[in-house]
């Protein structure tokens, strides 16, 4: 898949206020500061599209972007879809009340958004499996929502450590699930994973 263009559309705090569900949609979620907004910018080739920050908790609403793309295998096949940047979960410095309402906003969005085809759940590749990530992924499985996993910040890891963390995460999932989701390894810094993730989106758009 090649991106023709990507532009910001709108930010809303509630799924009921999101744009009409009239295009295929793909969302990006994960712990606060895991690199969601950076990955979106890397994938779309626009460093200024989604706002990123070194301080966690930057993205606070459901942010819709419109993407126009071309199928690399068929230049005539052009698609328009929504890409969604979501707030991170697990940000410690948010009050209990705020955390609850953020949780509800995300859960409602994931479960009620009819055109949502796949959610990419981002996991920081630098860490061993974290309870909060496993809980989130297990919840997605229980809700039977389609998702794929993207390990982020791979540029910060040596190959051995990266492989160990990825395998440990897969092993933790196998305790609950027979079939594992698609896994991707990415770095917004060196652009690794870009082709694989975009081609995965293309495959879902076609089916
Ligand atoms: P919230 O919106 O606060 O939940 O964060 P986010 O998940 O959108 O993370 P964001 O993209 O804002 O990135 C957080 C920090 O991690 C920034 O300082 C980024 O520059 C850095 N970062 C993101 N992706 C990568 C990566 O692939 N490699 C490296 N080295 N740093 C990254
Ligand atoms: Mg963000």
Ligand 1: which of 27, 30, 38 to mutate, judged by most atoms within 8 Å of the beta carbon? 38
Ligand 1 atom, smallest distance to 88 CA: 4
Ligand 1 atom, smallest distance to 87 CA: 4
| Residue 104: count of CB within 10 angstroms of its CB | 11
In the chain, which stretches have pLDDT less than 70? 92-95
Say which residue the tokens 């027979």 belong to. 178
The greatest distance separating any two alpha carbons of the chain, rounded to the nearest whole angstrom, comes to 50
Instruction: Please give the model's pTM, rounded to 2 decimal places.
Output: 0.96
Tell me the per-residue pLDDT of 117-174, one tens digit each, with 9 for 90 and over: 999 999 999 999 999 999 999 999 999 999 999 999 999 999 999 999 999 999 999 9
- pLDDT, residue 93, reads 64
* Cβ of 57 below 6 Å from ligand 1: yes
Q: Nearest Cα to 94, choosing from 51, 53, 60, 134?
A: 60
* Cβ of 125 below 6 Å from ligand 1: no
- pLDDT, residue 92, reads 61
Between 3.20.20.60, 1.10.3470.10, 1.10.287.610, 3.40.50.300, what CATH number should domain 2-206 receive? 3.40.50.300
Say which residue the tokens 């690794």 belong to. 192
Note the ligand closest to the C-alpha atom of 186: 1
Contact at 8 Å (CB) between 192 and 185? Answer: yes
Check: complex ipTM more than 0.90: yes
Dihedral sign, Cα of residue 141, residue 11, residue 184, residue 52:
negative
The per-residue pLDDT of the chain, averaged, comes to 94
* Cβ of 187 below 6 Å from ligand 1: yes
Q: Nearest Cα to 14, choosing from 106, 98, 85?
A: 106
* Cβ of 74 below 6 Å from ligand 1: no
- pLDDT, residue 100, reads 75
**Residues sharing a CB contact under 8 Å with residue 96, sequence separation 6 or more, in sequence order:** none
- pLDDT, residue 94, reads 66
- pLDDT, residue 40, reads 97
């Amino acid at each position: 898949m090649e991106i023709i263009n990507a532009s910001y559309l709108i930010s809303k705090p509630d799924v009921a206020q999101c744009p009409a569900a009239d295009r295929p949609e793909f969302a990006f979620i994960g712990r606060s500061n895991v690199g969601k907004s950076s990955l979106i910018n890397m994938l779309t080739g626009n460093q200024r599209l989604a706002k990123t920050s070194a301080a966690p908790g930057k993205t606070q609403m459901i942010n819709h972007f419109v993407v126009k793309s071309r199928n690399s295998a068929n230049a005539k096949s052009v698609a328009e879809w929504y890409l969604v940047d979501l707030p991170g979960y697990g940000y410690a410095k948010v009050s209990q009340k705020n955390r609850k309402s953020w949780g509800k906003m995300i859960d409602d969005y994931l479960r009620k958004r009819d055109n949502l085809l796949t959610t990419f759940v981002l996991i920081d590749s630098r860490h061993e499996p974290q309870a909060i990530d496993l809980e989130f992924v297990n919840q997605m499985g229980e809700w039977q929502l389609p998702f794929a996993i993207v390990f982020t910040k791979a540029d910060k890891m040596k190959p051995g450590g990266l492989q160990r963390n990825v395998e440990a995460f897969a092993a933790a999932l196998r305790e609950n699930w027979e079939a594992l989701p698609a896994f991707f390894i990415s770095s917004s810094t060196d652009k690794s994973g870009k082709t694989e993730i975009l081609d995965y989106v293309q495959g879902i758009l076609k089916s």
